[in-house]
Amino acid sequence: MFDKTFASPEAALADIPDGATIMIGGFGNAGMPAALIDALIAQGARELTIVNNNAGNADTGLAALIAAKRVRKILCSFPRQADSWHFDRAYRAGEIQLELVPQGTLAERIRAAGAGIGAFYTPTGFGTLLAEGKETRRIGDRDHVLEYPVHADYALIKADRADRWGNLVYRKTARNFAPIMASAARCTVVQVREIVALGALDPEAVVTPGIFVKRVVRIGSSLRKAA
Amino acid sequence: MKKLDRNQMAARVARDIPEGSYVNLGIGLPTLVADHLPKGREIILHSENGVLGIGPKPAPGAEDEDLINAGKEPVTLLAGGAYFHHADSFAMIRGRHLDVAVLGAFQVSVAGDLANWHTGGADAIPAVGGAMDLAMGAKQVLVMMEHLTKKGESKIVQRCSYPLTGARCVDRIYTDLAIIDVKPDGLHVVEMVEGLSFDELQRLTGVPLKRLATAA
């Protein structure tokens, strides 16, 4: 039987080595795989390169990983927020490298990796600090910047439901980066609220086909109750 | 003169957005535009994190952690709304499907250059989000900002001193004093607040303005 389910987050993340590049899904807290990040902190891998839209909020999840000094470098579009104090401190202390990427370029670099694209030209960022040193080309009547894909060793994402083949559906805007990250990593690990029988997910509505997913762990709902 | 307050500015921008438009409202001041869209006009709001058809703010207690906008504030979804992933969301922006982006700004230049993401300060931690994609991708880029800095300097400038978000991308500027179109031959004043003369606006702005026949 072909079964991608793992009994625990610890088991699903046991082989992550020091120095790995890890994509972490989520936009702020929506879609952040908190249980997987907690397990990653407990697992102990160091010198990580992290790909996420942000650089952690408050004291949990990615912020806790940064506070535990496990992150050597982060690729993101929006690190600075009112509650990004762990990143702010590590960045100012020179403990963490930042590669700042426009959000759409970050998404497309991730998508390109998953789709086997060698590089692409985008008008975004032309003539700005974030395109300094990059190749450019005028295509039609617009200037473009050459951008390369971002690959990862692992992607840690959160979905709502999965089956044992790794087909996924998400919940509302918690989907955000998860489907493209799933395709861009060599090993994609998913935490889900529920694992259902094969055939229970409507094949017309599967968002991430199981081919992009290696490991599935049921965590149950981590949604905070409305205040 | 009667300067517009933040809500009056938002209402003025909202008045100009036609029915059937797909619109992205930037973080901060532009977000207020949503509260002033004319009732009965169907306008579809997009947010970078992957949603079309954003509805009103949820009632207290009805917030859903999984349903937020790009400012990470809780929102609701209208009937007909849709969720999608980030690459699709930015295909909508970069692929020129989005009709209007309303963005805040530190500075706009006479050529329509936009600076709104980074002060360039030595101790500043830069953050860009989707600003550069929106500036380059939306069919129409509207800027909404106070006309003057707290020190009284014009935010409409010959050349941006802050790092650029995008070059030659702004179509129209809405401030608390005036509405100004950015055109190849310069800045055209479309509207001014009550009690403000063109000469006074020109004096405050510092860079050359053109007077439209319709502007008093």
Q: How far is CA B50 from CA A175, A208, B34, B93, B94, in A?
A: 8, 15, 17, 11, 14
Q: What is the ipTM of this complex?
A: 0.95
Q: B50 and A175: CB-CB below 8 Å?
A: yes
Closest residue of chain B to A226, computed from CA coordinates: B61
Report, as ranges of residue numbers, the positions in chain B whose pLDDT lies below 50.
215-216
Q: B137 and A104: CB-CB below 8 Å?
A: yes
Contact status of B133 with chain A (Cβ, < 8 Å): yes
Summarize pLDDT for A59-92 with one digit per residue, the tens: 999 999 999 999 999 999 999 999 999 999 999 9
Query: Could you tell me if residue A138 is inside a domain?
Result: no
Torsion of the alpha carbons at A87, A90, A91 and A92, rounded to the nearest 10: 120
Q: Which residue has the tokens 């060599």?
A: A186
Summarize pLDDT for A31-40 with one digit per residue, the tens: 999 999 999 9
The 3-class secondary structure across chain A, one letter per residue, is CCCCEECCHHHHHCCCCCCCEEEECCECCECCCHHHHHHHHHHCCCCEEEECCECCCCCCCHHHHHHCCCEEEEEECECCCCCCHHHHHHHHCCCCEEEECCHHHHHHHHHHHHHCCCCEEECCCCCCHHHCCCCEEEECCEEEEEECCCCEEEEEEEEEEECCCCCEECCHHHCCCHHHHHHHEEEEEEEEEEECCCCCCCCCCCCECHHHCCEEEECCCCCCCCC
What pLDDT score was predicted for residue A204?
98
Q: Mutate which of B24, B27, B66, B92 to disrupt the A interface (most A C-beta within 10 Å)?
A: B66
Which residues does A85 contact at the CB level (< 8 Å), separation at least 6? A63
Query: Could you tell me if residue A146 is inside a domain?
Result: no
- pLDDT confidence bin for A206, thresholds 50/70/90: very high
Looking at the partner chain, which of A111, A127, A173 has a beta carbon nearest the beta carbon of B50?
Answer: A173
Mean pLDDT computed over A159-172? 98
Q: Mutate which of A60, A84, A128 to disrupt the B interface (most B C-beta within 10 Å)?
A: A128
Query: Could you tell me if residue A143 is inside a domain?
Result: no
Find out whether B87 and A108 touch, Cβ atoms under 8 Å.
Answer: yes
Find out whether B147 and B156 touch, Cβ atoms under 8 Å.
Answer: yes
Opening angle at CA A179, ends A190 and A208, nearest 5 = 80
What pLDDT score was predicted for residue B108?
98
What pLDDT score was predicted for residue A225?
44
Q: How far apart are CA B147 and CA B143, in angstroms?
A: 11
Mean pLDDT computed over A116-135? 98
**Of these residues, B19, B42, B48, B191, which one is catalytic?**
B48
Find out whether A24 and A16 touch, Cβ atoms under 8 Å.
Answer: no
Find out whether B113 and B169 touch, Cβ atoms under 8 Å.
Answer: yes
Opening angle at CA B168, ends B163 and B171, nearest 5 = 115
Q: How far apart are CA A194 and CA A171, in angstroms?
A: 12
Q: A100 and B127: CB-CB below 8 Å?
A: yes
Contact status of A107 with chain B (Cβ, < 8 Å): yes
Distance of CA B49 to the CA centre of its chain: 18
Joined together, the tokens standing for residue B94 give 């970069």
pLDDT at A208 over 70: yes
Which residues does A81 contact at the CB level (< 8 Å), separation at least 6? A54, A55, A57, B127
pLDDT at A221 over 90: no
Quick one: CA dihedral B165, B70, A171, A87, positive or negative? Answer: positive
Find out whether B26 and B134 touch, Cβ atoms under 8 Å.
Answer: yes
Q: How far apart are CA A120 and CA B151, in angstroms?
A: 43
List the 192-221 stretch of A: residues with Cβ below 8 A of B.
207
Find out whether A16 and A136 touch, Cβ atoms under 8 Å.
Answer: no
CATH tag for B6-211 (out of 3.90.1150.10, 3.40.50.10800, 3.40.1080.10, 2.40.110.10): 3.40.1080.10
Summarize pLDDT for B11-45 with one digit per residue, the tens: 999 999 999 999 999 998 999 999 999 999 999 99
Q: How far apart are CA A45 and CA B76, in angstroms?
A: 39
User: What angle, rounded to 10 degrees, do the helices at B86-94 and A103-115 form?
Assistant: 120
Contact status of B112 with chain A (Cβ, < 8 Å): no
Find out whether A177 and A31 touch, Cβ atoms under 8 Å.
Answer: yes
Contacts of A61 in chain B (CB under 8 A): none
Closest residue of chain B to A114, computed from CA coordinates: B87
Beta bridge partners, A23, equal A51, A155
Query: Could you tell me if residue A179 is inside a domain?
Result: yes
Looking at the partner chain, which of B65, B129, B164 has a beta carbon nearest the beta carbon of A78?
Answer: B129
What pLDDT score was predicted for residue A222?
53
Find out whether B163 and A129 touch, Cβ atoms under 8 Å.
Answer: yes
The count of other CB atoms within 10 Å of the CB of residue A115 is 14
Joined together, the tokens standing for residue A198 give 């094969």
Query: Could you tell me if residue A9 is inside a domain?
Result: no
What pLDDT score was predicted for residue A220?
73
List the 75-94 stretch of B: residues with Cβ below 8 A of A.
77, 83-87, 89-90, 93-94
Rg of chain A, C-alpha, whole Å: 18
Contact status of B64 with chain A (Cβ, < 8 Å): yes
Show me where the domains of chain B are located: 6-211
Beta strands B186-192; B178-183: pairing state: antiparallel
Q: Which CATH number does the domain housing residue A213 bear?
A: 3.40.1080.10
* Residue B66 Cα, gap to closest chain A Cα (Å): 5
What domain range includes position A52? Answer: 18-100+151-218
Beta bridge partners, A142, equal A139
Joined together, the tokens standing for residue B68 give 């937020």
* B65 annotated active-site: no
Amino acid type, A202: D
Domain count, chain A: 1
